[in-house]
Chains A and B, each alone.
Chain A
Amino acid sequence: MDAVETAATQQLDPFKGVKKVPLEEYFTSGHRTCQGCESALVMKLMVKASGPRTIVLGSTGCMYVANTTYYSTSWVVPWMHTQLGSSGSAGLGTSAALKVLMRKGKIKEEPINVIAFCGDGGGADMGLSAISAALTHPEYNFLILLYDNESYANTDIQLSGLTPYGAHTTFSPPGKAKRIMHRRWKKNVAGMLAAGHPECRYVATVCASYAVEMMNRVRKALTIGGPTFVHSLDPCPKGWDYDPMLSHELGELAVNSGVWPLYDVEDGVLKLYGRTRGIAEKRSKRIPVRDFLIKQGRFAHFTDDDVDYFQHKIDEMWTKWLIPGIIPIHKDLEKDQPPA
């Protein structure tokens, strides 16, 4: 079998500590995201990690509407809008176009980073099939970054496939007759993409509360080559309903409570990192999920039973899953009993 023809990538070594991170910004002023927006921070860190020789493609969502208003742009690197469900196609297509333009001698031969980002609605709902298709093409280098604020936040907090169980959204408002309007569990996107795409060499989950580790995952994804995927959990003051000053803390709470495991899968090898690794190796204890939930208005209607159920599901994720925190396949069948 002939080897797949791959193009060279930029060699982006990990930043060894926050003091080694360059000062240059490629996502700067000119945007109008909400106060405390973690997704804007993710954008900033993402291009800081990738450097100036980068093309960014943005699916419709908060990071389109709020960042690029005509006559102003916060992007220092070339940026182009793509459609809600098209981040996979846009990343693949741009990478392929660069390759062919270089082959024809129309542009200088050099490794150019291609990053296509999407929100949870665009990536995990509408664009999942395009992302899946893109991840089957090892001959093109690009990263798909999913910034997950757990709702369609830009259009006023509608429920998405990544909205957690029970959360209050405009599509699932709790009421007197029915307290829990959203009874579906969040999709496991990174796990599913890692498990199902043998040509994809790198999948990671990140949280911008751990900024250097997050940037290093982006750098790794761009260096390793081929199609790669990074899933970032982004606390959202508007959608999660909390004081904007708590964004950083909520990211930490999500990780420390075990709700958001940090890991990367490189060439099929799973590695937990950061606090998640400590939890898995029993060096540190998972904090109660209640600590994470109680700070957010979207869970204000939760009774003790609801919190217990949420805790039970997170416990299950760490004790019953075949690969704890990552692959939700159980060895034994148990009855799911959400509170009435």
Chain B
Amino acid sequence: MGWMYAFEAITVTPALRIPMVAMVGNRALDDPGAFGVEHNDALAVRDLGWQLVWVDNAQEALDTALIAYRVAEDRRVFLPCAIGCDGAFLTHSQIQVKIPPQQWVDAFLPRYNRGDLLLHPDNPITVAPQVNEDWLMEIRKHNDEAMKRSKMVIREAYADFARIFGRNYGNPFFEEYQTEDADVVLVGMGTLSMPVKVAIRRMRKEGKKVGLVRVRWFRPFADVELATTLSRFKAVGVIDRDFSFGSPYTSGVLATEVRAAMYPSDKRPPILCFICGLGGREVTVPDVQRMSDMLLKAAAGETQPLTTWVGIRE
């Protein structure tokens, strides 16, 4: 909730090109109170110029923090970055992580240089004057271009990370699990990959070819990359650990974005939205099996509801 309390400052952070990194323990917004995960808190800044990335486990959280600083502080980007960590599951559990030696980090992460934007009596600048309609669009466009450049810088950072730290995350933007021969895939962000992967392994034994695409970077959104990948499948199910009341087909945020990214593709499989796991509710293996069965039916040509709340009391 502190994230929302700071919203005024959070809004100006990208506008002022302040490359801070925020670790957001995603927690359900009040009211009613819940300590568990929901992604709406971090997603609230999705349009403001914050880079957003979601992680799956503690090691990835640490690695992504280093990568996030590298990307944010690159002068070609100079935009803040928020790392979404599923509240409670990641933030209030303990696991061992590999802490890299300082010299590796130094090799990967150059010292932050604010350059000519440093606020100091030797550099008497006026920051963020009132621009009104005269200049606002041009300044917004700067941020737009910086966010576009961010994709390239993210690729560079992951390549360097693999070289220096010896841990290769492959495609920086999303992780694919058992997608090579999959008929249908589930798409999601954060820790839900665990139950989904377990369920996929079980379903594979029953001959159901289901895969997972776990999205890491939400801003910048891997539009072309995702559209290319997802158009290979017969049906796509987006698991949203968030809500967006009144959105198109009353879906979640991620599903709406995936549909928008897919629209220019020649091949557009049915895209179903599953809203589940809100407020920290477990996404169970049977939940995943139920979603997959609906996807397989959609793949077979049977009409399915565009949005389904899964694991909810009727």
* A residues apposed to B, CB below 8 Å: 52-55, 64-65, 68-70, 72-73, 75-81, 83-86, 89, 94, 107, 112
When distances are taken between beta carbons in the complex, the residues of chain A under 8 Å from B134 are: 70
Chain B residue at minimum C-beta to C-beta distance from A126: B8
What string of 1s and 0s marks CB contacts (under 8 Å) between B104-127 and chain A? 000000000000001111011111
Given A70-B130, A70-B134, check contact A78 B9 (CB 8 Å).
no
When distances are taken between beta carbons in the complex, the residues of chain B under 8 Å from A65 are: 130
- Residue from A53, A55, A85, A112 within 8 A of B8 (CB atoms): A85
Chain A CB within 8 A of B137 CB: no
When distances are taken between beta carbons in the complex, the residues of chain A under 8 Å from B124 are: 75-78
Tell me if B126 and A75 are in contact (CB < 8 A): yes
| Complex: A94 Cα to B118 Cα, angstroms | 11
Given A78-B124, A83-B12, A86-B8, check contact A94 B130 (CB 8 Å).
no
Given A68-B126, A86-B8, check contact A107 B120 (CB 8 Å).
yes
Tell me if A81 and B129 are in contact (CB < 8 A): yes
| Complex: A52 Cα to B135 Cα, angstroms | 30
When distances are taken between beta carbons in the complex, the residues of chain B under 8 Å from A83 are: 8-9, 12
Q: List 7 A-B contacts (CB under 8 A).
A: A70-B129, A72-B129, A78-B119, A79-B127, A89-B9, A112-B120, A112-B121
Chain A CB within 8 A of B95 CB: no
Chain B: minimal CB distance from A157 (Å) = 19
| Complex: A77 Cα to B122 Cα, angstroms | 9
Chain A CB within 8 A of B94 CB: no
Chain B residue at minimum C-beta to C-beta distance from A97: B119
- Additional pairs, 8, CB under 8 Å, beyond known A77-B124, A78-B119: A65-B130, A68-B130, A69-B132, A70-B130, A72-B129, A81-B128, A83-B8, A107-B120
* B residues apposed to A, CB below 8 Å: 8-9, 12, 118-121, 123-132, 134-135
Interface centre among B121, B124, B126, B134 (most CB of A within 10 A): B126
| Complex: A232 Cα to B301 Cα, angstroms | 73
Interface contacts (Cβ under 8 Å), in number, total: 60
| Complex: A319 Cα to B124 Cα, angstroms | 49
| Complex: A83 Cα to B128 Cα, angstroms | 11
| Complex: A28 Cα to B120 Cα, angstroms | 19
- Residue from B9, B128, B130, B135 within 8 A of A80 (CB atoms): B128
When distances are taken between beta carbons in the complex, the residues of chain B under 8 Å from A80 are: 119, 126-128
When distances are taken between beta carbons in the complex, the residues of chain B under 8 Å from A72 are: 129
Tell me if B121 and A54 are in contact (CB < 8 A): yes
Tell me if B119 and A94 are in contact (CB < 8 A): yes
| Complex: A85 Cα to B8 Cα, angstroms | 8
| Complex: A194 Cα to B64 Cα, angstroms | 45
Tell me if A70 and B131 are in contact (CB < 8 A): yes
| Complex: A224 Cα to B46 Cα, angstroms | 44
When distances are taken between beta carbons in the complex, the residues of chain B under 8 Å from A70 are: 129-132, 134-135
- Residue from B12, B125, B130 within 8 A of A78 (CB atoms): B125
Tell me if A78 and B135 are in contact (CB < 8 A): no
| Complex: A80 Cα to B123 Cα, angstroms | 12
When distances are taken between beta carbons in the complex, the residues of chain A under 8 Å from B126 are: 68, 73, 75, 78-80
The 8 closest A-B pairs by CB, nearest first: A68-B129, A81-B128, A73-B126, A80-B127, A70-B131, A83-B8, A78-B124, A79-B126
When distances are taken between beta carbons in the complex, the residues of chain B under 8 Å from A86 are: 8-9
Chain A: minimal CB distance from B73 (Å) = 14
Tell me if B129 and A77 are in contact (CB < 8 A): no
| Complex: A73 Cα to B127 Cα, angstroms | 10
Chain B: minimal CB distance from A238 (Å) = 18
When distances are taken between beta carbons in the complex, the residues of chain A under 8 Å from B128 are: 80-81
| Complex: A256 Cα to B135 Cα, angstroms | 46
| Complex: A78 Cα to B122 Cα, angstroms | 8
Chain A: minimal CB distance from B139 (Å) = 9
| Complex: A70 Cα to B125 Cα, angstroms | 12
Chain A residue at minimum C-beta to C-beta distance from B121: A53
When distances are taken between beta carbons in the complex, the residues of chain B under 8 Å from A69 are: 129-132
When distances are taken between beta carbons in the complex, the residues of chain B under 8 Å from A78 are: 119-121, 123-127
When distances are taken between beta carbons in the complex, the residues of chain A under 8 Å from B8 are: 83-86
| Complex: A107 Cα to B118 Cα, angstroms | 10
Tell me if B9 and A55 are in contact (CB < 8 A): no
Chain A: minimal CB distance from B199 (Å) = 46
Chain A residue at minimum C-beta to C-beta distance from B131: A70
Tell me if A55 and B127 are in contact (CB < 8 A): no
